[in-house]
Structure 1
Amino acid sequence: MPAVKRTYRLQIMLNAEELAVLDAWRFKKGMSSRSDAVRELLRRGLTVKGHEADRGEPLQI
């Protein structure tokens, strides 16, 4: 599979607990980088059936 060219950068800030959870999840899944893990979690979150993102509504946090 050809590599996907990524031309946009997204920066986020996490606290120590959020980073630890992200790292634990990515290591459990065998992911090579934090960026890969964040992209996968974003993809999963946006494809959850019934989620507000699917209906174009603002996300409630």
Structure 2
Amino acid sequence: MPAANRTYRLQIMLNAEELAILDAWRFENRLPSRSDAVRELLRLGQSVPGNDGHQGVRSVDFGILDPPNRTS
């Protein structure tokens, strides 16, 4: 576990639509930065009841938009 007082950089890539959704949520919740919005969303996601870690789910199946139609 990283030291609590140390800050780490995490770079993520979002498409224009995902960024617009993040910014809208950030402004709606009066958060001062995108980084604060992402941290708050991570905190909220960890506190969801029944969060079982999504065993066996592929990373491509996750997103903030509707999942793509896949036939595999």
TM-score normalized by the length of structure 2 = 0.66
Alignment partners' CA distance in 2, 1:36 and 1:59 = 29
Q: Which residue of 2 aligns with 1:15?
A: 15
Give the letter aligned to residue 36 of structure 2.
Answer: D
Q: Which residue of 1 aligns with 2:64?
A: none
Tell me, yes or no, if structure 1 residue 58 matches structure 2 residue 58: no
Q: Secondary structure at the match of 1:17?
A: helix
Q: Secondary structure at the match of 1:13?
A: coil
Q: Percent identity over the alignment?
A: 64
Length, aligned pairs only: 55
Alignment partners' CA distance in 2, 1:44 and 1:11 = 20
Tell me, yes or no, if structure 1 residue 24 matches structure 2 residue 21: no
- Offset at 1:46? 1.0
Unaligned stretches of 5+ residues in structure 1: none
Structure with the bigger percentage of helix: 1
CA displacement 1:21-45 (0-9 Å, x = unmatched): 0000000111100000000000100
Higher relative contact order (CA 8 A, sep 6+): 2
Give the letter aligned to residue 18 of structure 1.
Answer: E
Unaligned stretches of 5+ residues in structure 2: 62-72
Q: Could you say which structure has the larger radius of gyration?
A: 2
